[in-house]
Chain A
Amino acid sequence: DAMVIQNPRYQVTQFGKPVTLSCSQTLNHNVMYWYQQKSSQAPKLLFHYYDKDFNNEADTPDNFQSRRPNTSFCFLDIRSPGLGDAAMYLCATSRGSRTDTQYFGPGTRLTVL
């Protein structure tokens, strides 16, 4: 009964080689979020979608893009990964109000060689 699914769980890519991470949800939530997390630090929000409305955080590098083709799926594209992009990438969903819980997926661990 997994609610937020991320694939793959582990991704290895080469410096500069584009990579796509995927997230799907069975909760039918309006909002989907992408976070970057390094070494047990707090997750850093990259962007989020409210339905198809895309909201980018001001300090998210242009190297990071996202697509949400439908309610259930959301993708994170890293156009030219650098060594500093090695991290855990977390997807989360919620109904989108301040009282709602965010439900997180298990994460994708990205390694850049």
Chain B
Amino acid sequence: GNSVTQMEGPVTLSEEAFLTINCTYTATGYPSLFWYVQYPGEGLQLLLKATKADDKGSNKGFEATYRKETTSFHLEKGSVQVSDSAVYFCALSDTYAGGTSYGKLTFGQGTILTVHP
């Protein structure tokens, strides 16, 4: 079956530090890969996505590249801000034998990021 593994958290950084959150996946088909972010007390919102191998998703200074050879989709940002403090979820959406997945997501366990001034 499909699965997503994220690096253990929580992650604590100082403002302007470099961020990497590792994400690896297992999938049977041709998945799309997503990073969602959840700010305290809110729902999830899409941060970025990539729908095929070697695609790079980017948004708000965050980037992630879909690496099929290493089954990875690591999230990076060159200089984090206090406002980036949130929970980050890596997720995949795959096709399933015999029909559509209806866009169902398989989530990683989430990584809590705290950025200090």
Which of B's residues lie within 8 Å of A, judged by CB? 29-32, 34, 36, 38, 42-46, 49, 51, 87, 89, 93-95, 100-105, 107-110, 112
Contact = CB atoms under 8 A, between A and B. Distances in A.
Given A90-B44, A98-B31, A104-B43, A43 B107 contact: yes
Contacts of B107: 42-43
A73 interface: no
A18 interface: no
A100 interface: yes
A81 interface: no
A14 B88 CA distance: 32
Interface in A40-81: 40-43, 45, 48, 50, 55
B12 to A, nearest CB: 15
A74 to B, nearest CB: 14
